Structures are given as structure tokens and as C-alpha cells.
Amino acid sequence: MIPLSILDLSVVTTATKPAAALRNSIDLAQHADRLGYTRYWLAEHHNLSSVASPAPDLMIGQIAAVTRHIRVGSGGIMLPNHAPLMVAERFKMLEALFPGRIDLGIGRAPGTDQATAHALRRRFDVREGDDFLERLHELILWETRGFPPGHPYNNVVAMPDDVALPPIWLLGSSDYGSELAAQVGMGFAFAHHFASYDAIEALTHYRQNFKPSAWRAAPHAILAVALVMAETDAEAERLASSMDLNRLRRDRGQYLPLPSIEDALAYPYSEQDRALIARDRSKLFVGSPATVRQQLEPLIAATQADELMVMTATFDHEARKRSYSLLAEAFGIGKRVAA
């Protein structure tokens, strides 16, 4: 069966404050480790009351310290917000502390609004992806020590210098990301859960155009999806109502904490609202284990994904853990005896 992984945004709800959301992330990661999940990635977002994940590198260290087997990584580090040297050193340090268990997922979006992007970078000429390629190239040069003689960074060494960077993954939601990952020979994670671009086309292009590199000899494609699973279709639909309202608000630029099921069911939806929710449901898989497998398997087969990464947001933390337990059972991944 296809390996399963988790993407966690450390979702804040109307009943769960950010600090509690971070503790829930740690608890969920330990649960995933016991269930046999392959990776646990943490997102980077800033100035959003809906998520508590501005510093994935800090959470990676915390989660890796309290788990034993699961790989822990960023999904991702938004490279335009960071000096490449700082990224290199922090992830080398994580790799030194937890060898063979760290992933460096990199994105090109700021993960925030323009004012916050300026506050992070202290620059006014902020444009999405404006210098991403330059920063990615510099990150690679820190790892390969490839700065030419005479370059101001030629004698600067990313420490610890006896540790290699962990595997680098490029994150994307368009043909740009798939093309870049293929050309530089890195792993690629496609964000089906919010992409307007076709996942089948993106991952097919990545595979067909992949160039082996020092980073990876063969392509490895991760398909990231949003999912809510419960014992029955009816219960899954009830749990997903929080995500439906949350996505509707997000479409309007309202990044609010995840609402309760009761608030979501009582919301006065207009016909236009219901049409938007129906549209967004094309990016959300909801149902019992049998229903979700029936929904997902054709997409997995068509994309030829090597791995499925799942983002689940429910108002109740235990319901989210249960969703991941059911998913693990449905796709037959093996539980670990001890984690």
C-alpha cells in the first residue's frame, strides 16, 4: 500500500488557543508515530489567527525529540522569509541531533500578507517568489561549498560542517513547482488541497522531466490532500462541516479559528455559499474508510504518487486522531510495536 504521511498546520479552533494547538500537534505526532506514518511535516504561516505554526523548525526539534521512528520535517520553510545560511545551519543542526529523520520542505510563497512579509524580511520590495531561485541556489551552495573564489561567502561555512543537509523537497501547487523540482532533481510535494492546477498533470510532468541529481537518483512525488474520515459517512460529514465554513470564510479573506460543528451547522448559508462549499469539496475527501478509499484510489493511481500526505482539521482533537487511525487501517500501514 502507499505510504501515508501527515501535514499539520497546528490548527487553532474557537475552543483551542494557539499554545494548546501546539501541544495537540505534539500529541498527534506521537500518535502518528505509533500508527506507522512515514512523515510528519509542519507548515509555516504568519499573522493568521487560524493556525499556530510560524516556526516549523522549532516544532520539528520538539516533535523529533518525543518520537522514535517517524520522519519530521517542514511543509514547508517559506524560503523568501529566511536567509539561506540560517536555513542550512538550522536543518544541519536538526539532522545532527536526529540523524536520518529530518526533511527540509521548501516553499516559495511568503505564507502571509505583504505587511507581515515586510516585517519578517525588513524589505519593501516584497513580491511573491521574487528571489526564490536565487535563494534556493544559495542554499545549495552552502551545502556543496560551491561559492567561487573571490565570492564574499567563499570562506563562510554552514555549521555543523560534518553533517549534510537533510533531503530537500520542493513544495508546489502549479506547473512551476513540478518543473523546478524535476529540473533540479529533488523530491516534489503537490498541494492538491488548495491547488487550482491539476494534480495529475503536475505529477506526470514531474516524473517525465525528472533529472537525476546529487540530491535524488529517481523522482519521488508526494500527493498532499485534505481529508476527514469517521466510522460513517454521516459522522464524517458532520465533522467536515467545520472545515466547510472555515474554507468559505477563507475564500472571503477571513482567516478565523476553526468553528465548532454546532456553529457551522447553524450558520445561515446562502445559495452562493453552498455553491462555493460544493466547489471547495473537490479539494476535500470526506467519508467512511470505504468511501474515502473509493474517492482517493483513482487519483492516487492517475498521479502515480509515491506517497500520500494528509491534512485533517477537525474541531475536536480526538476526532482528528481517530480520523488518522481509520486512515491507517484503511490503507493497511503497519502499527509500530513501540514509539
Give residue-wise pLDDT tens across range 32-43.
999 999 999 999
Helix (H, G, I), strand (E, B) or coil at 311: strand
For a pLDDT cut of 90, what percent of the chain falls above it?
A: 89
Distance, CA of 191 to chain centre: 8
Closest CA to 224 of 116, 309, 328: 309
Cell triple for 205: 510532468
Q: What global pTM score does this model have?
A: 0.94
Mean local confidence (pLDDT), 137-144: 96
- Name the average pLDDT for the chain: 94
* CB distance 5 to 41 below 8 Å: yes
Better-predicted residue by pLDDT, 129 or 130: 130
Confidence of residue 335 (pLDDT cuts 50, 70, 90): confident
pLDDT for residue 111 is more than 70: no
Q: How far is CA 245 from CA 50, 149, 196, in A?
A: 13, 56, 19
Question: What are the start-end ranges of the E strands in the chain?
Answer: 4-8, 39-42, 71-78, 102-107, 168-172, 187-191, 221-229, 284-287, 307-311
Q: What is the pLDDT of residue 339?
A: 47
Report the C-alpha gap between 15 and 258 in whole angstroms: 9
What is the rounded average pLDDT of the residues 26-54?
Answer: 97
The pLDDT of residue 122 is 58
Looking at the predicted structure, is the pLDDT value of residue 127 above 90? no
What mean pLDDT do residues 307-327 have? Answer: 99
Q: Is the pLDDT of residue 51 over 90?
A: yes
At residue 131, the pLDDT reads 85
Q: What was the pLDDT predicted at 123? A: 56
pLDDT at 337: 58
Structure confidence at residue 130 (pLDDT): 65
Q: Residue 319 above 70 pLDDT?
A: yes
Average pLDDT over residues 238-265: 96
pLDDT at 149: 94
Q: What would the pLDDT profile of 53-68 be if each residue is shown by its tens digit? A: 999 999 999 999 999 9
The owner of cell 500537534 is 25
pLDDT at 129 (0 to 100)? 44
Q: Is the pLDDT of residue 114 over 80?
A: no
Judged against a pLDDT cut of 70, whether residue 338 lies above it is answered with no
The CATH T-level fold of domain 4-330 is TIM Barrel (3.20.20)
**With 70 as the cut, is the pLDDT of residue 188 above it?**
yes
What distance in Å separates the CA atoms of residue 308 and residue 330, rounded to the nearest whole number? 13
Please give the average per-residue pLDDT across 289-316, as a whole number. Answer: 98
